Amino acid sequence: MLTVYIDVKKVLTAFDLLASVAEMSRLAGSRLENIYRTGAGFLFKFAGGFVAATRFRTSLTGVVPEKTHEGAETLRGLFRDERLVEVAMPRFDRLVELVFTTGKIVVELLEPFNMVAVRDGRVVWLMHSYRARDRVLAPGAAYAYPPAAFIDVLRAGVDELEKAVDPGDLRRSLIRRLGTGPELADELIARAGSSPRSIAEEFKRLVEAVRSGRLEPTVCIRGGAAVTVLPIKPVSLQCDEYRHFDSFWSALDFYFTPMELESAAADATQAIVQRRRRLEASIKELEGKIPEYRDEASRLKTLAHRLLMYKIEIEEALRGGESSIRIVDVDGRRVKIELPEGESVELVRGVPLGRYISQLFEEAKELEEKAQKAAQVLEKLRRDLSKLEEEQRREEERLKASARAVAKKSWFEKFHWTVTTGKRPVIGGRDASQNESVVRKYLKDHYLFFHADIPGASAVAAPPMEDPLELLQVAQFAAAYSKAWKIGIHAVDVYYVRGEQVSKQPPSGQYLAKGSFMIYGKREYVRNVRMELAVGCRRDGEVYRVVAAPPKAAPLLAERYVVVTPGNKEKGKLGKELAQQWGGCQPEEVVAALPGPSRISEEGRGTPLPWDEIEQIFATW
């Protein structure tokens, strides 16, 4: 069997991207909630999960790095809140399309990495403009794919693929004619042998398997480091270890996240690196100059001492008398003499020897002072360099620490959710559409339906209960997520009924708007429910979650929390402050949990239930 050593993979291949597209396709129908810029590319937040689009990969992701809205404003304005129609791969190449109802975003994992927003066939936004003989990418221009360089295996049949495989040069023809890349070419040869027909059949089989989502995600480890990631289990690679994953995107997270964080850190510390280079150049220059200054000072002092020692003999020789000093040459204003030890020295005619000796001592002193000052500057530069190195290290560590794992969402997390002190599950709609879903799908006949006695409130459902304290807690939760909070009311009545009393069937001749219901029969009331809600942060392994609860139940859900009441601080500002204070939980998630403008009335800490226990509580629904 052919055994192959490979270079470290730096970007998804077309084969990898095909598997990634199969996984991303499960997001079809999801609403695009937001778009962020990250250090390595872009992050798309869908209702069903996140998609990373970087120069390394385009895939689902469970890791959210440090992100910002800056640089994503236009793209977000074009597509936010739209539904994803499909994720498509237009041909067997490193191209992927996120198709929405009004247009599409094309990710080109080519060189250079680019993203292009297209509406009605024309470019409306792009990362990089591009102009060449084959095409023009510019705002307003008609969008065209890069010229196809290979036979498209997605559409070609086995016969066409077989013709493209040169039996005399299998590997080269697979790479150049079919776009497999070296890794897949070697894998096909290892699996199918040297028959072009067998190779073509195996290629089609693998492509169809991956396209349909039949994956065996694998990372190859060699020498303790990951060297490649594939959607299939390879037979051709020389690996010390094969690490297998439940999903290809989780394998891509494992493999590419370190590269993406390193790339982000390099960009974020670019200014620091440039300053370091300038400092290092100055340090190197001074490290060369200081010895020169000191050596020249020493030479001048030695010469001055020797001239001083022979001063009388030199002066006698210059007057023409007998002396141990020999005049070697006279050239204009220069006189060259030879000392008894054989050393030659040039003197200036007309300058008294004593003055010349003093000048030598002065020059030596000046050079020593320059060396001393340079040494002081050198020491300062070294301290500055050390500070810059530490600043760069801290920034790199901060960026790496900012990347957080995103948990796979449980079914109840798409709603407002909480638990009572009696460990009963509670869910509420975030909008009219979710209110409909709560009533139609989750409100059982014997469950309880809670609603603030005011138009515009969350439809809240909970299992049956009789404890007045638990009823109050659910009422508080329903009251908080109502219009009453936003308009600054501090208490409101909340009614509750059995699920069988709630209907979408209006009286004859009337119409019920989306999210509205008819309540039949007697309503029970919890009067004057105080408007207060606990919002907090919890950590489950590497995952941070924002939680909300009635104040009494908050210690069951959050490690750190605050109790808020209606106030005058905008929830966007307060949410960012709390996220920074807590660390780990994302600002936008804290903001989403706050009912509206608020003020903090108290802070608290809790010992939260394990997440699997919370999931078990909701599993009883």
Q: Convert the pLDDT of each residue in 215-250 to its tens digit.
A: 999 999 998 899 999 999 999 988 999 999 999 999
d(CA 332, CA 349): 8
- 242 inside domain: no
pLDDT, tens digit, for every residue of 249-271?
999 999 999 899 888 887 777 77
Final residue of a structural domain among 187, 213, 239: 213
Residue predicted with more confidence, 262 or 496: 496
Q: Which residue from 588, 551, 558, 554 is spatially nearest to 573, judged by alpha carbons?
A: 588
Crossing angle of helices 170-178 and 181-192, rounded to 10° = 130
- The string of DSSP codes covering 232-293 is S--SSB--SEEEE-SSHHHHHHHHHHHHHHHHHHHHHTHHHHHHHHHHHHHHHHHHHHHHHH
> Which residues, listed in sequence order, are joined to residue 237 by a DSSP beta bridge?
4
Alpha-carbon span 575 to 562, nearest angstrom: 11
Answer yes or no: is 111 within a domain: yes
Same domain, yes or no: 158 and 126: no
Whether the per-residue pLDDT at 454 is higher than 90: the answer is yes
Digit-coded pLDDT (tens) for 89-117: 999 999 999 999 999 999 999 988 999 99
Residue 246 belongs to a domain: no
Averaged pLDDT, 526-543? 93
- The answer to the question of residue 449 being in a domain is yes
487, 470 in Cβ contact below 8 A? no
pLDDT, mean over the chain: 91
Report the distance separating Cα 25 and Cα 14, nearest Å. Answer: 16
Length of the chain: 621
Q: What is the mean pLDDT of residues 276-285?
A: 88
| Identity of the highest mean pLDDT range in 38-42, 127-131, 198-202, 340-344 | 198-202
Same domain for 460 and 582? Answer: yes
What CATH number should be reported for the domain holding residue 383? 1.10.287
Residues 47 and 174 in one domain: no
- Give the lowest-confidence range in 32-41, 164-173, 262-271: 262-271
Asked whether the predicted pLDDT for residue 458 surpasses 80, the reply is: yes
- Integer Rg of the chain from CA: 38
- Mapped onto helix, strand or coil, the DSSP state of residue 82 is coil
Q: Are 37 and 68 in contact (CB under 8 A)?
A: yes
Examine residue 229 and state whether it is found in any structural domain, yes or no. Answer: no
pLDDT band at 5 (very low <50, low <70, confident <90, very high): very low
**Letter string b/e over residues 392-410, b meaning 16 or more CB atoms within 10 A of that residue's CB:** beeebeebbebbbebeeee
Do 298 and 366 lie in a common domain? yes
Q: State the total domains in the chain.
A: 4
How far from chain centre, in Å, is Cα 137?
Answer: 27
Q: How far apart are CA 293 and CA 288, in angstroms?
A: 9
Check if the beta carbon of residue 158 is closer than 8 Å to that of residue 208.
no
Q: How far apart are CA 296 and CA 280, in angstroms?
A: 25
What CATH number is given to the structural domain containing 36?
A: 2.30.310.10
pLDDT confidence of residue 6: 57
The two beta strands, 404-405 and 491-498, are: unpaired
Q: Are 450 and 495 in contact (CB under 8 A)?
A: yes
The neighbour count for residue 361, using CB atoms within 10 Å, is 15
* Residue type, position 582, single letter: W
Q: Tokens in use for 36?
A: 């962020």
Same domain? 468 vs 609: yes
Q: What is the pLDDT of residue 407?
A: 66
Q: What are phi and psi of 245, to 5 degrees?
A: -130, 155
Reported as type and span, the H/E element at residue 98 is strand 95-100
Spatial neighbors of 481 by CB under 8 A, at least 6 apart, are 416, 428, 430, 457, 458, 460, 595
Q: For 193-199, which contacts have Cβ atoms below 8 Å and span 24 or more sequence positions?
A: 194/167, 194/170, 196/162, 196/165, 196/166, 196/167, 196/170, 197/158, 197/162, 199/161, 199/162, 199/165, 199/170, 199/174
Does one domain contain both 432 and 478? yes
One domain for residues 483 and 334: no
Distance, CA of 220 to CA of 296 (rounded, Å): 60
What distance in Å separates the CA atoms of residue 487 and residue 567, rounded to the nearest whole number?
Answer: 10
What is the mean pLDDT of the segment spanning 395-415? 77
Does the pLDDT value for residue 199 go beyond 70?
A: yes
Instruction: Tell whether 306 and 440 lie within a shared domain.
Output: no
Is the peptide bond between 112 and the residue preceding it cis, with omega within 30 degrees of 0?
Answer: yes
Q: Domain limits at 451?
A: 416-620
**What's the pLDDT score for residue 366?**
95
Residue 243 counted as domain residue: no
User: Per the domain annotation, does 20 fall within a domain?
Assistant: yes
Least confident of 97-106, 328-337, 371-380, 559-568: 328-337
| Per-residue model confidence (pLDDT) at position 7 | 75
Nearest partner of 531 among 472, 616, 462, judged by Cα: 472
pLDDT at 93 (0 to 100): 95
- Tokens 């020999």 sit at which residue? 326
CA angle 210, 216, 219 (to 5 degrees): 115
Say if residue 423 is in the same domain as residue 402. no
Place of tokens 């810029």: 37
Kindly state whether residues 21 and 110 are assigned to the same domain.
yes
Tens digit of each residue's pLDDT (9 = 90 or more) over 497-513: 999 999 877 776 667 76
Inform me whether the pLDDT recorded for 2 exceeds 50.
no
Shared domain for 401 and 424, answered yes or no, is no
Integer Cα distance of 298 and 409 in angstroms: 75
Q: Which of 142, 170, 203 corresponds to the end of one domain? A: 142
Same domain for 60 and 137: yes
Determine the average pLDDT of the residues in 410-426: 95
Q: Which residues pair with 35 in a beta bridge?
A: 44
Is 258 part of any domain? no
pLDDT of residue 509: 64
Cα gap 251→231, rounded to integer Å: 9
* Of 196, 213, 230, the domain-final residue: 213
Cα angle at 97 between 95 and 103, to 5 degrees?
Answer: 140
pLDDT of residue 1: 45
Beta strands in 109-189 (DSSP E): 114-119, 122-126, 130-131, 136-137
